[in-house]
Amino acid sequence: MKIIINHSSMQPIYEQIAGQMKAQILKGELLEDTALPSVRMLAKEQRVSALTVKKAYDTLEAEGFITTVHGKGSFVARTNQQMRLEERRKEVENAFELAIQKGKSCGMSREELLDVFQMILEEM
Amino acid sequence: MLKLTNVKKTYKDFELDCSMEVRPGMITGVVGKNGAGKTTTLKAILGLIRLDGGEAKVLGKPVEEMGKAERAQLGIVLADSGFSGYLTIRDLLPMLERMYPKFERDVFLGRCRQFHLPEDKKIKEFSTGMRQKLHVLFALSHDARLLLLDEPTAGMDVLARDEILDMFREYMEEKEGRAMLISSHIAGDLENLCDDIYMIDGGRVIFHEETDVLLGDYALLKMTQEQYQKIDKSHVLRFRKENYGYSCLTDQKAFYLDNYPDVTVENNGIDTLITMMIRGERI
């Protein structure tokens, strides 16, 4: 498992860890049932606090990407096709949200935004 | 592991009134400027000073009741104490073995070699950095459950500091349930090591936060006079007048990133935090 943390990024470190692990699970680089390093172990490797890693694991667990067996550690959960699709959808939604925010911040109206959307959709 | 409840100590010109907690498996940091009360707090935990009030519990027992068995489970580095300068590392061994039943002689000597600490040189001939390394290596050598470290990396160069910090991380990973209280004025040390951080000033805890939240949600906002007039200040903890306008400490970075794209938002280190908390003004 390879994780690269950017300490000057505006994204919180636990989100960076969770995000990169999630991407590796979705891409199939981290296979189902793979044992993940313990919280302290990953904290040591990444030189971040253990609570940060714990938060990342908790996030992944809440989203169903990993399971934690008490006393045994954390494992990659079975990701079904449904989950992958949903994840993709969420990414698309986020991209739209970002574009709309940008448009609004420079004063574009709802109609103008829709026009741009239609135009791009037809060009493709 | 460790719990202080309104621990009080009054000196002629200083008053300590401190509550803090270190939980098993956690590395807790203490920061503060010189004379803020860091060392006094550690002394209170060790029972080296008599408390004027409050309660200090170490490994589940009140400090006053701590005996030999509990003390053997503490690993300690204090700023102004150490081994007699007339002894060598080899001279220390029999003493350490008797004082600490779980002293791991071979591990200790192996690490001394790793850090180039000569076994048969008098400790008074060691450099400051070497002496400090010796104290840290010893604190890590007897399976202590709770490490109490006052400025453990003081006087060490960058490389030695890095090695020692990695050793702390290893120590925590090696066995579950160990805990660590560490004070340092080198913020970088604490940022990447501690799970939570207390800030002490004038003998009182003025701030306590998880390091993760500190680095993730806190930020320094830099803005012009005009921006400062207009900005929503409900999440500004402290502000300071600067020559370009104002700098503000916030614990809601995302709020300002989302709503004020023109304002400069800087990730917040512990150093800025200390300066802003102590020198900055409240809204």
pLDDT by residue for chain B (283 residues), tens only, comes to 999 999 999 999 999 999 999 999 999 999 988 888 888 999 999 989 999 999 999 998 999 898 888 899 999 998 877 888 899 999 999 999 998 999 999 999 999 999 999 999 999 999 888 999 999 999 999 999 999 999 999 888 888 899 899 999 999 999 988 999 999 877 778 888 999 999 999 999 999 999 999 988 999 999 999 999 999 999 999 999 999 999 999 999 999 998 998 899 998 888 888 889 989 999 8
Q: Which chain A residues are Cβ-neighbours of B210 within 8 angstroms?
A: 49, 51
Chain B residues in contact with chain A using a Cβ-Cβ cutoff of 8 Å? 25-27, 165-166, 169-170, 172-173, 192-196, 210-212, 215-217, 253, 257, 261, 265, 267
Cβ(B179)–Cβ(B186) under 8 Å?
no
- pLDDT at position B11, please? 92
The pTM for the full model equals: 0.83
Instruction: Sketch the domain layout of chain A as residue ranges.
Output: 13-76, 81-123
* Rounded (10°) CA dihedral B207, B208, B211, B216: -60
B22 and B95 fall within a common domain: yes
B9 and B118 fall within a common domain: yes
pLDDT tens for residues A20-44? 999 898 888 888 889 999 999 999 9
Q: Which chain A residues are Cβ-neighbours of B173 within 8 angstroms?
A: 38, 40-41, 43-44
Q: Which chain A residues are Cβ-neighbours of B257 within 8 angstroms?
A: 10
B245 and B152 fall within a common domain: no
Structural domain that includes position B36: 2-209
B230 and B105 fall within a common domain: no
Q: Which chain A residues are Cβ-neighbours of B192 within 8 angstroms?
A: 47-49
Q: With an 8 Å Cβ cutoff, are A48 and B192 in contact?
A: yes
Q: Which chain B residues are Cβ-neighbours of A7 within 8 angstroms?
A: 215, 267
CATH assignment of the domain containing B193 = 3.40.50.300
pLDDT tens for residues A84-96? 788 888 889 999 9
**Closest of B148, B204, B210, B150 to residue B7, by C-alpha:** B204
Chain B contact for A57, CB < 8 A? no
B40 and B166 fall within a common domain: yes
Tell me how many domains chain B contains: 2
B128 and B240 fall within a common domain: no
Q: Which of B195, B216, B265 lies nearest to residue A12, judging by beta carbons? A: B216
- CA of B216 to nearest chain A CA: how many angstroms apart? 5
Distance of CA B162 to the CA centre of its chain: 16
Q: With an 8 Å Cβ cutoff, are B265 and A10 in contact?
A: yes
Cβ atoms within 10 Å, residue A48: 27
Q: How far apart are CA B2 and CA B24, in angstroms?
A: 9
Domain A13-76 class in CATH: mainly alpha
Q: Which of B170, B194, B257 lies nearest to residue A44, judging by beta carbons? A: B170
Optimal mutation site among A14, A41, A49, A57, interface B, most CBs of chain B within 10 A: A49
B165 and B241 fall within a common domain: no
